[in-house]
Amino acid sequence: METRPLIFDCDPGQDDAISLMMALSPPRDGQAALDIRAITVTAGNTTLNKCQRNARMIAQICAQNGGSKNIPIFAGCASPLHYPLATAEEVHGIEGLDGIEIFEPDVPLQDEHAVDAIIRLCRELDEVVLVPTGPLTNIATALTRAPDIASKISELVLMGGARREAGNITPSAEFNIYVDPHAAEIVFNANIPKTVFSLDVTHIALIQDSHVNRIEALQTPLSGILTKMLRSGYAEYDRAKFGTSGTPIHDACTAAYLFRPELFDFRKVSVQVETQSPISRGHTSVDFWGMTDRQKDTHWAIDVDQAEFFDLMIKCISAYAKT
């Protein structure tokens, strides 16, 4: 289980919300809680204003039900580095969290900009792990403004990209990378170890109705909220689009990895990002077979133990308070 200090960078989004629910879950089975120092937010699945509110909502719901408390939340970049913002309300709903009752949370938004917070925390701490599950704008901006922080980041654990599974927003691009390919290029070119959960693996870990029934059967306030989210238009959208029996919970792979990295199989690769072509914008060129002499600094997830993955997710949710 991960013991290094963590910064979650997200754009909630149902799958970001589930990742946070897992990451913020109470200690269980003798394990300590993850050492999350901050949640930073970027625009992506919806606008920055809605994404930061959604992150604070999820943090408040988790804290009220026994999860980690008092984790500072920072709003970051409202648009990509060069392209206009593309969002995904057709997937996640107009508020970015279809299936949940929207409210204005009491959890405060910090005054400090997320990019400044990332830079400050990386300079203050050692062996920081950044966990981005949205477009990489905040991370790339921090690395550009403060190149010195790269040496303080021990790992980037991110959801994004596609190789075998092609794209989910264009024929060859995954949404997070498509939204800000210039940011992704900066991040993938950074001299930092990277662990990547692309559509190649998230389309293996498909949540089924049987899993949702198990979550509902927990009969806790948080499991009830999550059940509604998993039975919302989010699930129906992906099943209809991809013709699958289940729904990918993309960003939850990052949280699962932090708890149990052995659930995944990886290939060590190098990755380049297409930024200019209007046809292949956001395409991730993965050197799977070592065709180039580029440094192989990326662990690209290629498989996951589906049964154990969902057992872990449900254990995390079951750890929350029952009343």
Over residues 70-84, the pLDDT tens digits come to 999 999 999 999 999
Over residues 133-163, the pLDDT tens digits come to 999 999 999 999 999 999 999 999 999 999 9
Q: Is residue 201 part of a domain?
A: yes
Q: Say which of 92, 211, 250, 283 is annotated catalytic.
A: 250
Over residues 95-141, the pLDDT tens digits come to 999 999 999 999 999 999 999 999 999 999 999 999 999 999 999 99
- Give the residue among 137, 144, 264, 139 at the shortest CA–CA distance from 195: 264
Going by pLDDT thresholds of 50, 70 and 90, the confidence category of residue 33 is confident
- The C-alpha atoms of residue 34 and residue 50 are separated, in whole angstroms, by 26
Mean pLDDT, residues 279-301: 96
- Give the residue among 64, 71, 171, 61 at the shortest CA–CA distance from 131: 71
pTM of the complete model: 0.97
Domain CATH number, residue 84: 3.90.245.10
Q: What's the confidence (pLDDT) of residue 233? A: 84
CA distances from 146 to 90, 183, 257 (A): 36, 14, 28
* Contact of 169 with 175, CB cutoff 8 Å: yes
Instruction: Indicate the residue type of 38.
Output: A
* pLDDT for residue 2 is more than 90: no
Give ∠ CA 146-9-71 in degrees, rounded to 5. Answer: 100
Q: What's the confidence (pLDDT) of residue 79? A: 98
CA distances from 195 to 51, 61, 107, 189, 259 (A): 24, 29, 30, 14, 14
Say if strands 206-207 and 247-248 run parallel, antiparallel, or are unpaired: antiparallel
Q: Is residue 323 part of a domain?
A: no
- Give the residue among 300, 274, 276, 304 at the shortest CA–CA distance from 288: 300
CB 41: neighbour CB atoms within 10 A? 29
250 is catalytic: yes
| Tokens 């550009």, residue located | 144
In total, how many domains does the chain have?
Answer: 1
Going by pLDDT thresholds of 50, 70 and 90, the confidence category of residue 268 is very high
Over residues 203-250, the pLDDT tens digits come to 999 999 999 999 999 999 999 999 999 998 887 887 888 788 899 999
Say if strands 284-286 and 194-197 run parallel, antiparallel, or are unpaired: unpaired
- What is the percentage of the chain residues whose pLDDT exceeds 70? 100
Number of helical H runs and strand E runs in the chain: 13, 12
Q: Is residue 125 part of a domain?
A: yes
CA distances from 102 to 53, 65, 185, 255 (A): 9, 17, 35, 24
Going by pLDDT thresholds of 50, 70 and 90, the confidence category of residue 9 is very high
Q: What's the confidence (pLDDT) of residue 235? A: 79
- The C-alpha atoms of residue 106 and residue 118 are separated, in whole angstroms, by 23
- The C-alpha atoms of residue 224 and residue 207 are separated, in whole angstroms, by 16
Q: What tokens does 109 get?
A: 């938004």
Render 63-127 in DSSP notation, one character per residue: HHTTS-----EEE--SS-SSSPP---HHHH-TTS-TTS-----SSPPPSS-HHHHHHHHHHHSSS
Q: What's the confidence (pLDDT) of residue 323? A: 64
Residue 238 belongs to what domain range? 6-318
* Contact of 198 with 301, CB cutoff 8 Å: yes
Q: Which residues pair with 128 in a beta bridge?
A: 153
Q: Is residue 1 part of a domain?
A: no
Q: What's the confidence (pLDDT) of residue 28? A: 82
